[in-house]
Amino acid sequence: MPWDARPPGGAEGGPEGAGAARARAQKQCRKSSFAFYQAVRDRLPVWLLEDMRASEAFHWDERGRAAAYSPAEALLYALVHDHGAYAHYLLATFPRRALAAPAAGFRCCAAPGPHVALAVRYNRVGILRRILRALRDFPADERARLLDRRGCARVEGGGTALHAACELARPECLFLLLGHGASPGLRDAGGLTPLELLLRQLGRDAGAAGAPGEPRRRRLLLLDLLALYTPAGAAGPARRELLGDRPRWQRLLGEDTFRWLAGLAPPSLFARAMQVLVTAISPGRFPEALDELPLPPFLQPLDLSGQG
Distance of CA 201 to the CA centre of its chain: 20
**Residues 224 and 198 grouped into a single domain:** yes
Which burial class, exposed, middle or buried, applies to 203 when counting CB atoms under 10 A from its CB (0-12, 13-18, 19+)?
middle
Q: Is the dihedral of CA 64, 67, 69, 72 positive or negative?
A: negative
Higher pLDDT, 279 or 10: 279
Q: Is residue 300 part of a domain?
A: no
* Confidence grade of residue 171 (pLDDT, cut at 50, 70, 90): very high
Domain hosting residue 61, numbered range:
20-42+55-69
**Residues 74 and 164 grouped into a single domain:** yes
* Confidence grade of residue 183 (pLDDT, cut at 50, 70, 90): very high
Looking up residue 221, the CATH number of its domain turns out to be 1.25.40.20
**Residues 200 and 184 grouped into a single domain:** yes
Residue that terminates a domain, selected from 6, 34, 69: 69
**Residues 30 and 64 grouped into a single domain:** yes
**Residues 65 and 178 grouped into a single domain:** no
**Residues 197 and 236 grouped into a single domain:** yes
**Residues 59 and 86 grouped into a single domain:** no
**Residues 36 and 148 grouped into a single domain:** no
Task: Please indicate, yes or no, whether the overall pTM of this predicted structure exceeds 0.85.
Answer: no
% of the chain beyond a pLDDT of 90 = 38
Q: Which residues pair with 59 in a beta bridge?
A: 67
Q: Is residue 122 part of a domain?
A: yes
Give the pLDDT score at 12. 43
Give the pLDDT score at 2. 30
Average pLDDT over residues 99-112: 78
pLDDT digit string, tens, across residues 260-286: 888 888 877 877 888 888 888 888 888
Q: How far is CA 176 from CA 53, 128, 135, 275, 279, in A?
A: 31, 8, 12, 15, 12
Number of domains comprising the chain: 2
**Residues 192 and 112 grouped into a single domain:** yes
Question: Which residues does 275 contact at the CB level (< 8 Å), separation at least 6?
Answer: 227, 228, 229, 267
Q: How far is CA 125 from CA 51, 84, 116, 252, in A?
A: 27, 10, 10, 28
Examine the pLDDT at 250 and tell me if it is beyond 50. Answer: yes
What letter does residue 115 receive in the DSSP assignment? H
Tell me what the pLDDT averaged over the chain comes to: 82
**Residues 94 and 30 grouped into a single domain:** no
**Residues 166 and 64 grouped into a single domain:** no
**Residues 60 and 81 grouped into a single domain:** no
What letter does residue 290 receive in the DSSP assignment? G
Give the Cα separation of 215 and 168 in Å (integer).
9
CB 202 within 8 A of CB 216: yes
- Grouping H, G, I as helix, E, B as strand and the rest as coil, residue 207 is helix
pLDDT digit string, tens, across residues 60-97: 666 667 678 899 999 999 999 999 999 999 999 999 99
